[in-house]
């Protein structure tokens, strides 16, 4: 078992968001993903375009609830309901320890099997979550999200993306290793994290994500943030 950084221990191919990871998650993820907090601000700003008075937001993979609460605070005067859907019970426990906004609710469930309704959400958010869903289930999840949106509603999805060819992928890999090194992670920690994510994290390319959104019947798709191998997509129903 190796240290993947910030004293999070994992074995090859066995990275988990459970165990004691939730208590260390916020620090770890903010150091591991470029423009992580800026992405939060971007999502909160975009939410104001799509969520009306008494609207509804679903945040898939809400983890410790930091982004969920930021969105809820942004939309509080509109009395919008914000639901955080999270598969890991320990993440839910960590989220409930926070001083949560009154318009937030957390649900422990799996997006691949849960019923999230149809034509009921104004906004669905996935912040670096779909990439952890097995590729065989990913298309079905995106289709479920599309059906859950009201007409004119939006799906905001941030993902780590693969390069469009081997050259770009090599550039992305080197860039990301340098980025993590500058965040204070050692070479051993970077390598252990890569090993722990084998078969757990399987990003699609930028075009692969767009194609998946189109197959789910999204037509209006725009990139709203791009930083090397990290990208945010805004899709409107």
pLDDT digits (tens, 9 = 90+) for 187-223: 777 778 777 776 678 999 999 999 999 999 999 999 9
The full set of domains in the chain, from first to last, is 2-236 (3.40.50.150)
Confidence of residue 30 (pLDDT cuts 50, 70, 90): confident
The Cα 218–Cα 237 span in angstroms is 6
Instruction: Tell me what the mean pLDDT of segment 38-55 comes to.
Output: 98
Choice between 188 and 33, residue whose per-residue pLDDT is larger: 33
* 3-class DSSP state of 58: strand
User: What is the pTM (predicted TM-score) of this model?
Assistant: 0.90
Of residues 201, 210, 219, the one with CA closest to residue 157: 210
Q: How do residues 109-151 score in pLDDT, each as one tens digit?
A: 999 999 999 999 999 999 999 999 999 999 999 999 999 999 9
Contact yes or no for 118/54 (Cβ under 8 A): no
Instruction: Tell me what the mean pLDDT of segment 15-28 comes to.
Output: 62
Identify how many contiguous H helices and E strands the chain contains and give both numbers.
8, 9
The Cα 184–Cα 181 span in angstroms is 5
Q: What count of other Cβ atoms lies within 10 Å of the Cβ of residue 194?
A: 17
């Amino acid at each position: 078992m190796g240290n993947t950084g910030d004293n999070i221990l994992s074995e090859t191919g066995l990275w988990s968001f459970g165990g004691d990871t939730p208590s260390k998650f916020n620090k770890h993820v903010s150091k591991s993903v470029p423009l992580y907090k800026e992405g939060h601000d971007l999502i909160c700003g975009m939410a104001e375009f799509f969520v009306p008075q008494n609207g509804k937001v679903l945040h898939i993979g809400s983890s410790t609830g930091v982004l969920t609460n930021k969105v809820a605070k942004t939309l509080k005067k509109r009395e919008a309901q914000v639901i955080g859907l999270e598969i890991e019970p320990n993440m839910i426990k960590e989220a409930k320890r926070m001083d949560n906004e009154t318009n937030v609710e957390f649900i422990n469930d799996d997006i691949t099997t849960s019923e999230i309704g149809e034509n009921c959400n104004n906004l669905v958010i996935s912040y670096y979550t779909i990439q952890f869903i097995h590729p065989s289930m990913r298309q079905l999840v995106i289709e479920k999200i599309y059906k859950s949106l009201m007409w004119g509603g939006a799906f905001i999805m941030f993902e780590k993306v693969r390069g469009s060819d081997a050259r770009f992928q090599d550039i992305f890999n080197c860039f990301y290793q340098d980025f993590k090194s500058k965040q204070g992670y050692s070479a051993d920690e970077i390598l252990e994290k890569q090993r722990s994510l084998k078969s757990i994290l399987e990003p699609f390319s930028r075009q692969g994500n767009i194609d998946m959104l189109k197959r789910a019947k999204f037509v209006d798709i725009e990139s709203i943030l791009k930083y090397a191998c990290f990208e945010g997509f805004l899709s409107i129903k």
